């Protein structure tokens, strides 16, 4: 069953290597190639570390996941989908890039771009709200990334400020593709219940089939939060919030332009079929008056200077990460000596759950 999840290899002009070549099942990367320096994030399946590659002192973010936890929760499909989506991101400026993936007996490793300008959430908490011009820039970059994923028939499903990072220049980088759904074209729907309560679209809450318009609802929620400081239907009481999302009309508030209101009303339309983006996806978003000042070609070539530059003083600066993570000790087990991580063919294919997980770029220089 593992191989069927490898979506259209034609999009990926390089082959994934499935052969067992030593400790990590990957000839190009293994845990001992890296010094694991700091914890910079945590999720339900593992942690994210700042790591330095010994060979060239380059910094990466390495997401280390526990196979046991993934298998216990029957999440291996999500993890393989995440890997497949990451492989397709190579070509987009606002999506985090995967450099390697490899596995040991008990862990999976994603070696990703280290993006150190901090979560958008981190900056929004500090400043409460953003000026409309700044919000417009971020929303445009996010919309571009979502439009690209949709063009590959991928629904992102989990757009929220915690998954939106800023790079050191201040551009948006979307991370965390664990909830992406592959193979969803505009006419397809899926009905898995997932996402984060504040940002869930009504059709997801109702457990109805949904399509990529759920991403445009999330985009509207994030824009609203940037302008007004809280998600649109927020309540401390989750049940009340769900009820608000399902039934409460969007109440107009002072402090945003007419164009911003018009966009919010279009994106936060409760009926997915009437929502902005339902007919022509990203093209409908692009041409909305709110973005009349945005030159989309310039935006995608990063020619528009970001409205805010994060305070980053080196490639390894972690001051924009939550101290709750960065003060934690790095466990030795993430980079055990090779004897601990010998992987024989039978273990490597751990019940076929992670076949084909390992990946290396077609040539070393492709990322230099």
Secondary structure (H, E, C), 184-229: CCCCCCECCCCCCHHHCCHHHHCCCCECCHHHHHHHHHHHHHHHHC
Q: Which residues contact 167 (CB under 8 A, 6 or more apart)?
A: 115, 116, 117, 173
Backbone CA torsion sign across 55, 48, 176, 287: negative
Query: Measured between alpha carbons, how far is 47 from 26 in angstroms, rounded to an integer?
Result: 21
Query: Is 351 a catalytic site residue?
Result: no
Alpha helix ranges (H) inside the chain: 67-72, 76-88, 120-127, 132-151, 202-205, 213-228, 238-247, 258-267, 282-286, 296-300, 323-326, 345-348
Map residue 95 onto helix, strand or coil. strand
Cα–Cα distances (Å) from 73 to 264, 280, 350, in that order, read: 36, 36, 15
User: What is 160-191 written as a DSSP string?
Assistant: -GGGEEE-TTS-EEE---TT-BSS--TT--B-
User: Which residues have a Cβ under 8 Å from the Cβ of 351 and sit 6 or more positions away?
Assistant: 71
Rounded to whole angstroms, how far apart are CA atoms 213 and 201?
9
DSSP 271: S
Among 33, 113, 158, 215, the active-site one is: 158
Q: By the 8 A CB rule, do 112 and 41 touch? A: no
Q: Are 194 and 238 in contact (CB under 8 A)?
A: no
Measuring CA to CA, which residue among 326, 345, 281, 302 is closest to residue 148? 281
Feature table: binding site for ATP: 63
Catalytically annotated residues: 158
């Amino acid at each position: 069953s593992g191989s069927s999840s490898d979506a259209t290899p034609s999009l990926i002009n390089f082959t994934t290597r499935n052969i067992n070549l030593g400790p990590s099942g990957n000839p190009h990367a293994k845990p001992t190639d890296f010094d694991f320096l700091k914890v910079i994030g945590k999720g339900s399946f593992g942690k994210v570390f700042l790591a330095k590659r010994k060979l060239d002192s380059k910094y990466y973010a390495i997401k280390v996941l526990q196979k046991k936890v993934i298998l216990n929760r029957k999440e291996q499909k999500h993890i393989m989908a995440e890997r497949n989506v990451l492989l397709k991101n190579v070509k987009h400026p606002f999506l985090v890039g995967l450099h390697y993936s490899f596995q040991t007996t008990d862990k999976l490793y994603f070696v990703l771009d280290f993006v150190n300008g901090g979560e958008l959430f981190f900056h929004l908490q500090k400043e409460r709200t953003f000026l409309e011009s700044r919000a417009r820039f971020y929303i445009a970059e996010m919309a571009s990334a979502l439009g690209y994923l949709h063009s590959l028939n991928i629904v992102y499903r989990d757009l929220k400020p915690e998954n939106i990072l800023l790079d050191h220049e201040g551009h948006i980088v979307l991370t965390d593709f664990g909830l992406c759904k592959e193979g969803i074209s505009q006419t397809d729907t899926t009905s898995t219940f997932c996402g984060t309560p504040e940002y869930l679209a009504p059709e997801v809450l109702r457990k109805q089939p949904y399509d990529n318009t759920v991403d445009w609802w999330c985009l509207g929620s994030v824009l609203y939060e940037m302008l007004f400081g809280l998600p649109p239907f927020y309540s401390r009481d989750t049940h009340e919030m769900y009820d608000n999302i399902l039934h409460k009309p969007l109440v107009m508030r002072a402090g945003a332009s007419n164009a911003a209101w018009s966009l919010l009303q279009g994106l936060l339309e409760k009926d997915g079929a009437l929502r902005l983006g339902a007919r022509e996806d990203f093209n409908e978003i692009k041409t909305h008056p709110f973005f009349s000042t945005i030159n989309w070609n310039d935006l995608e070539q990063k020619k528009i200077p970001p409205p805010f530059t994060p305070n980053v003083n080196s490639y390894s600066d972690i001051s924009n990460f939550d101290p709750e993570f960065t003060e934690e000790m790095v466990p030795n087990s993430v980079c055990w000596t090779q004897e601990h991580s010998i992987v024989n063919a039978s273990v490597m294919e751990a019940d076929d759950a992670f076949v084909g997980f390992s990946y290396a770029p077609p040539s070393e220089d492709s990322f230099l």
